[in-house]
Structure 1
Amino acid sequence: MADRWETEQKRPRVELPKCSSCHRERTLNDAYDYNPLQVVTGQPLGWYSGDDGEVCPECMTKMLRG
């Protein structure tokens, strides 16, 4: 139904960024971007966005811990 409404309103459908590891979509609750200082200070990690894709905080934590 949402696709039909967007087509009728002639508005483009917005693609949300997805994690390249687990394919979870980024939401409005995922407001923070990744910053290396988060690792050093022990703060929760944010989303990594780069030329090689997006990575959610959970997958970034797994990768950093090995």
Structure 2
Amino acid sequence: MRHGETDANASGIFQGQADIPLNDTGRAQAQAAAQRLATFSPDRIVASDLSRARGDDGAHHRGRLGRAGVH
């Protein structure tokens, strides 16, 4: 799964390893993805350490994903 939208990728700018946060659209996408992933009851989710891949700070995903958490 790819991270949600950032202002950089919405503008067609390659961001590589730069830690560019999600924009409002990306945060909504991350929330929707967390809700969908939760239906699979995962034991673990492994994500990049970049904030955009962890859904901003990952805190709201941990709550939605129950015991899985984000690693």
Task: Tell me the TM-score range normalised by the shorter chain.
Answer: under 0.3
- TM-score normalised by structure 1 residue count: 0.25
TM-score by length of structure 2 reads 0.24
Which has the larger Rg? 1
**Higher RCO by CA contacts (8 Å cutoff, separation 6 or greater):** 2
Q: Indicate the structure with greater strand content.
A: 1
